[in-house]
Structure 1
Amino acid sequence: MSIFAKLSWYFKEEWKTYLVGVGGLILTALLAIIPPRIIGLLVDAIHSGKLAASTLIMLLILLTVVAIAQYGSRYMWRTAIWGEAAKLEKVLRNRLFWHYTQMDQEFFQKYRTGDLMAHATNDLSAIQRVAGGGILQFADSMITGGTTLIAMVSLIDWRLTIIAIIPFPLLAVMARYMGSKIHVAFRDSQAAFSRLNNKAEESITGIKVIKGLGQQEEDMADFDDQVAQTININRRVNRLDSLFDPMTTMIISLSYVITIVYGGYLVTTSQITIGALVSFVSYLAMMIWPMFAVDMLFNTLERGNASYDRVMDLLNQTSKVIDDPNGATTAPRGEIDYDVEKFSYPGDNRLALENINFKIPAGKTVGLVGRVGSGKSTILRLMLRQFDNYTGTIKFGGIDIRHYKMDALIPAIGYVPQDTFLFSDSIRENIRFARPEASQEAVETAAKKSDLYNQIKGMPDGYDTAVGEEGISLSGGQRQRLAIARALLINPELLILDDALSAVDAETETQILRNLRAERKEKTTIISAHRLSSVMDADEILVINDGQIVERGTHDQLMANNGWYKEMFERQELETKVKGGAQNG
């Protein structure tokens, strides 16, 4: 029953509607007492040969009125209880989704996408059943069971009632014993479902890689193994679950045997009438649902309890990136002063960055270059406040970025990541994702700046072209340019290109950079790249290695240093010439 206590916050908010629902259940239970008694009276009248036509008509009319009244009372409790259960699911779903949007990068490294989806679907459905079916089962088992029991004692015979319900306490003992086992089993079942969800999501997302490497059979075998494990775990849940119904049926059958034997004795000794025995049997049949309701109640509560704990574990996770309640609310402008002494990723003792110091005057461009894994993207991730657990400061416009409100800082930054994510919508809607109200003219201007305008115009549907899931209908270069257009549409104070030109050819890259220099003379830009031609015109270039700045200066200064930068630049120039010669040949 602890799940009811955990959901008490919701029941307190919606107590009026639940009161209407419980009132409907009480009225339904009271009305249900009447038909068996009427049937008993009819049986006695027929048995004694005293059934008059007027009496029969009156009793039939009464049965009809009761049936209509039961219809109304059932409608009342169904709309109230099931409606509130659906509302609870909506509340929790919105709360969970909002929580996802507020969490930091560490949270999403800890929990996989499939697991988060399982919490937002399967677990919330189990909780919703507690607020709907659970309330019904609890109230019905108490109300219907209680009113029927009172009718059996007061209208028939208290001795027969006591004897007939002797087996019932066995059900409570069984439910308590089985309930604890089902709780553990269902928790394991939900975890298995999350793992299977993860596998399915991962395989579907990576289907091109799987097929490209010819790993379909291996991936299918792995998926089959996950399915088999999930089925085995759920079989244990089903085995435990299936023990309830036979036990309940056995207890009810035992009560029927007692009723027939002892009730028959009372009839033969004229202590009760045959009609009373018929009514009692009908009441006993009505007790079957409350008994099964107790069975289903424990099952529903244990499932909901396990799911609620899993969801609360997520909601209790706190972001390490805290939005300063007293932070600056104006958009940052001006110089960027980046001074990070050291930074390590959560759970990793190795230093990811050490002594990263540089300044970017407003309107200037800085390039970040270095080997894969050198720390370039990490520098940018701190700028975006994906992590705050570093020693040092990053100031934008003279204020530490941790002292800005997130709603002021983030919209001032246009970020184009290495892995471009596009939504399954049109090109137009993807470009104006950050500014849904942007005009068509503004969208086209952004497309021109990213050198995508002419290609869009050449598409049959133009800006209405659907990009497909994650932009599958576009080439890698088109996806990157679309992402750049999306960032430029908001005219950010700071534009960050994180290896965002890797999929475009040299000519397109040159055109995009020329557009950026012309359009962003007053704005600041950071370009992280593997291809050094992307940063050679930057006001300052930082060479990063093992999380440290090992070289810095303009292109000409770095070429004169005869270090890594010069070696890599000359190698890339040679590769470009070789490729050009091969194509010409």
Structure 2
Amino acid sequence: MNQTDHVPDVSGPSSDPGRESASRVSPTMIRLRAVVAAARFHGLELDVRDFAAEPGEESPSPATLVRWLEEQGAVAKGMRIKWRYLVKMTNSPPIVLMFRDGSAAVMVGADPAKGVVWLRDPLKDEATAPVPVDELRLSRIWTGDVLLIKRRRDQSEADAPINLAWLAKMVLREKRSLRDIAIASMTLSILQIFPPLIVMQVIDRVVSYKSMSTLISISGIIVVFSVYEVLLSYGRRELSMVLTTRVDARISLHVFSRLVSLPLEYFERQQAGNLLGRVMAIYKVRDFLTGKLMNTFLDLFTLIVVLPFLFYLSSTLAWMTVAAAGCIGLLVVVFMGPIANVMSAQMQAERERSAILYETVAGIRTLKTLALESMRKQIWDEATALVIRWKLAVGRMSNWPQTLVMPLDLFINRGIILIGAYLALVSPSSIGIGGLVAFMMLGGRVAAPLVGFAKLLDDFNEVMTSLSEAASVLNQPTETKALTTGMRPAIKGALSFDGVNFTYPGSTAKALNDVNFEVPAGTMLGLVGRSGSGKSTITRLLQGVSRSYTGYLKLDGIDLREINLTHLRRSFGVVLQDNFLFRGTIRENITAGRPGYTIDDVVRAARMAGAEEFIERMPAGYETFIEEGSTNISGGQRQRLAIARAVITDPKLMILDEATSALDPESEALVNANLERIGKGRTMVIVSHRLSSLVNCDQICVMDHGSVADIAPHDVLLERCDIYRTLWMQQNRHTEGRAKPSSSSLVAEGE
């Protein structure tokens, strides 16, 4: 019996009755599940929700999957192989085979003797026996592409410290482009030798003997060499641009990935404008590596090729040229230290000025409403004056070496020809007129890279300063490991605090002091207390913003620090007091870039948040564009959109940190009325100063100076918790006073 008679259709959805569940799964999802299964073999737990498809791709290509896997800490490679090689991969780990319909399967073994490979359906359990498939059956569905995966053992580019070696490695990865550029540079250097030598022959032979035919022949040769030089120069510039563009793209991707991997605590301690200024300094280093440095090294090819010919023409003049260039380099080295110190101060002043500009633009509404233009102008003027002062100091410091270098530079360009003319007059045998002209033509090409290399040290100062500024941000400890590793349990929502203590960095007082309480899944938990009592700190720990606590904080019995941070945060719905909406449509903000949600899901979420009524009144409805800073919607509308964004994922645990504080009374009443419906089947942690909004909570935790004063339902707390009773009476006394005005007070007001 043929081996393939037992093979189900491993290519995805089919009419096979045994694959009814698969018929409802898209080929793309099957392919992603296959990748997840192969990665799990190496101890990598991936979540398909982390995958971002490339625009216009119906099914993820091997290249796209490789990008995703490398972002998740794996080493992956896509390749196309033939059957005869595939069937010999007997001891290989699981390999993902790409199928023509966009799906995939996992190859777990091969048997060359029987001519079959063993495939496992990615939609079935790992305990399911794999299926043998022969070449004929596989060729009908297999594209020939495979995806190889392994766990990264060494330090990757994404995790390695950002320094000059890291950047150099980024450039050196473009080996093919660098090789082609080197070949073009070497060829150009060789071609540049011939015109001066030909000119020498023209002067010494043609002019002396007045040979027109020889002149025409030599002119033709020069034209041919010039054409080749022009074409090669164009090709080298084109290759250099491609190299620069590729390196720029790679650095940009790594820098942004590293930046967003930094913990929230770090951003909270930094001034945004200053931080961005330091990060952007890395592009000065990029420009240096792919610009001046690369061009100087390319010119060194000319030096290597041409310098021997200079010594051939005149060793005396050649040594003078080299000595003058060496003196230039020595002068630059002497001034490196002083210039670096002044330049560092200038860059600091420029960052401070950039921070003022960023802060002004970010707070332009406050600036305009309070008429603070003149005050901010004064601050800007002072910062600009400081920048100008340091820039002038840098210019004056740099002017000294440039002034001292100029005589040497002039000697190379002008003095050498005078000395050469003297040698030609005194000792015609040492160098002729034609040789002198050829030396000057070649000497200019040699002196330029020598002088350029010496001046490169001056630029190196600024580059190293810029690199240290960027590294001071990008080399901070990241959350990459927590975001890509750890458990991914199914979240139910049971919370347990057991002896939790936490202190903010730089503080001596504990923000949380021996916090102990637990609530079962599905509980609506209120957090109340005076300002600074630790309410928001608890929500920060739950979101994984801070993980440096002591004690045990457990979610469904699992320590929060053992759970994959991306999985944890995607399992939560969080609404803060001041929520940020991105530029884009209302629908895009509610779905938050997760393309799997339909317009029906968006409408359902908006209805739960009480946002449907104002969205439908807008001219474009859910396609209404939200401007930067959400200037075209009210604060209450923004808050309700944030609530809709949180509930659309149907999280099992929701955190509302003063979520209704920005709402007007009508909107707040609408959201509070929906809270019980929103909270059905999920755990809710609600932080609010308005105790009236927490009356229906299953449990209310009263915080005081970082500790739990009491935890119980509203009625019980009113009886036994003095802090809660005081807060309640303060709020209700104010309400009752406004609700029951006396007739005498009305008369008084009339008077």
Q: Same fold (TM over 0.5)?
A: yes
Q: Secondary structure at the match of 2:482?
A: coil
Residues 345 and 352 in structure 1, CA contact (< 8 A), matched pair in contact too: yes
The question of 1:174 aligning with 2:174 is answered no
Amino acid at match of 1:197: S
> Match for residue 199 of structure 2?
39
**What are the residue-to-residue correspondences of 1:120-269 with 2, within 5 Å?**
120-140=279-299, 142-154=300-312, 156-243=313-400, 245-256=402-413, 258-269=415-426
For residue 679 of structure 2, the aligned residue among 475, 498, 520 is 520
Please report how far the alpha carbon of residue 385 of structure 1 lies from its aligned counterpart in structure 2 after TM superposition. 1.0
1:311 aligns with 2:456: no
- TM alignment of 1:129-528, pairs within 5 A: 129-140=288-299, 142-154=300-312, 156-243=313-400, 245-256=402-413, 258-269=415-426, 270-271=428-429, 272-319=431-478, 323=482, 327-433=486-592, 435-528=594-687
Code of the residue aligned with 2:306 in structure 1: it is T
Given the superposition, is the C-alpha separation of residues 461 and 242 from structure 1 closer, same or farther in structure 2, using an over 3 Å criterion?
farther
* Structure 1 position 238, deviation (Å): 3.2
Contact in 1 for aligned 2:412/2:447 (Cα 8 Å): no
The one-letter code of the counterpart of 1:351 is K
1:17 paired residue number: 177
> 1:448-499 CA deviation, whole Å, 9 max, x = no partner?
1111111011111211222211312211111111100000001110011000
SS at match of 1:323: helix
Higher mean C-alpha deviation, range 25-34 or range 453-462: 25-34
Larger RCO (CA under 8 A, 6+ residues apart): 1
Q: Aligned in 2, Cα 1:76/1:119: closer, same or farther, shift over 3 Å?
A: farther
Partner of 1:27: 187
Contact 1:20 1:76 in 2 (8 A): no
Which is worse superposed, 382-391 or 103-112? 103-112
In structure 1, the partner of 2:15 is: none
- Which structure 1 residue ranges, 5 or more long, are not aligned? none
- Secondary structure of 2:508 counterpart: coil
Change (3 A) 1:581 1:185: farther
Distance 1:324 1:450, change over 3 A: closer
Take 1:338 and 1:322, find their aligned partners in 2: how far apart are those partners? 24
The residue that corresponds to 1:541 in the other structure is 700
Verify the 8 A CA contact 2:310 2:442 in the aligned structure 1.
yes
Counterpart CA distance in 1 for 2:652 and 2:526 is 17
Classify 1:241/1:130 alpha carbon distance in 2 versus 1 (closer, same or farther; 3 Å).
farther
Q: TM-score, normalised by structure 1?
A: 0.91
SS of 2:353 mapped into structure 1: helix
Contact kept, 8 Å, 1:24 with 1:73, in 2: the verdict is yes
**Separation in 1 of the partners of 2:311 and 2:721?**
102
Deviation at 1:315, TM superposition (A): 3.5
Q: Is the 8 A contact 2:281 2:467 kept in 1?
A: no
Secondary structure at the counterpart of residue 167 of structure 1: helix
Residue identity in the other structure for 1:363: G
Q: Structure 1 CA distance, aligned partners of 2:490 and 2:347?
A: 44
Q: What secondary structure does 2:574 align onto?
A: strand
Q: Counterpart of 1:531? A: 690
Query: Secondary structure at 1:527's aligned position in 2?
Result: strand
Q: Give CA deviations for 1:320-370 in whole Å, capped at 9, x if unaligned.
A: 796297632223214211234321101211111113222222212011112
Specify the SS of the correspondent of 2:468.
helix
1:449–1:485 contact (8 Å) kept in structure 2: yes
Q: CA RMSD in A?
A: 2.7
Gap runs ≥5 in structure 2: 1-162
Report the residue type matching 1:222 in the other structure: I
2:205 is the counterpart of 1:60: no
**Which whole-Å CA distance do the structure 2 matches of 1:196 and 1:228 have between them?**
10
- Distance of aligned partners of 1:111 and 1:51 in 2 relative to their CA distance in 1, 3 Å threshold: farther
Residue identity over aligned pairs, in percent, reads 28
Matches within 5 A, 1:573-584: 573-576=732-735
Q: Which whole-Å CA distance do the structure 2 matches of 1:376 and 1:409 have between them?
A: 20
- In structure 2, the CA distance between the partners of 1:314 and 1:476, relative to structure 1 (3 Å rule), is same
Aligned runs of 1:101-112 on 2, under 5 Å? 101-112=260-271
Does the 8 A contact of 1:126 with 1:307 survive in 2? yes
Q: Is the 8 A contact 1:127 1:308 kept in 2?
A: no
SS state at 1:513 partner = helix
Shift of 1:153: 2.2
Q: Equivalent residue for 2:94? A: none
Query: Alignment partner of 1:337: what SS?
Result: strand
Q: Which moved more, 1:114-123 or 1:537-546?
A: 114-123
Cα displacement string for residues 37-77 of structure 1 (whole angstroms, at most 9, x for unaligned residues): 3333333346425131x322222222222222112322333
Counterpart CA distance in 2 for 1:125 and 1:163 is: 35
Amino acid at match of 1:415: V
Give how far 1:245 is off: 4.5
Task: Give the equivalent residue in structure 1 for 2:235.
Answer: 76
C-alpha distance 359-16 of structure 1, shift in aligned 2 (>3 A)? same
Measured in 2, the distance between the counterparts of 1:127 and 1:434 equals: 31
Letter in 1 for 2:332: A
Change (3 A) 1:145 1:182: farther
Summarize the Cα distance change of 1:6–1:243 in structure 2 as closer, same or farther, 3 Å threshold.
Answer: farther
Higher mean displacement: 66-75 or 189-198: 189-198
Spell out the pairing of 1:562-573 with structure 2 (5 A cutoff): 563-573=722-732
Change over 3 Å in CA distance of 1:344–1:165 after alignment to 2: closer
- 1:477/1:504 contact within 8 Å kept: yes
Q: CA deviation at 1:531?
A: 1.5
Kindly provide the amino acid, as one letter, of the partner of residue 349 in structure 1. T
Alpha-carbon contact 1:36-1:279 (below 8 Å) kept: yes
Q: Distance in 2 between matches of 1:451 and 1:116?
A: 38
Match of 1:118 among 277, 300, 304: 277
Native 8 Å contact 1:82 1:132 kept in 2? no
Equivalence for 2:85: none
Higher helix content, 1 or 2:
1
Cα distance between partner residues in 1 of 2:721 and 2:517: 22
Q: Distance in 2 between matches of 1:313 and 1:571?
A: 48
User: Partners of 1:424 and 1:550 in 2: how far apart?
Assistant: 43
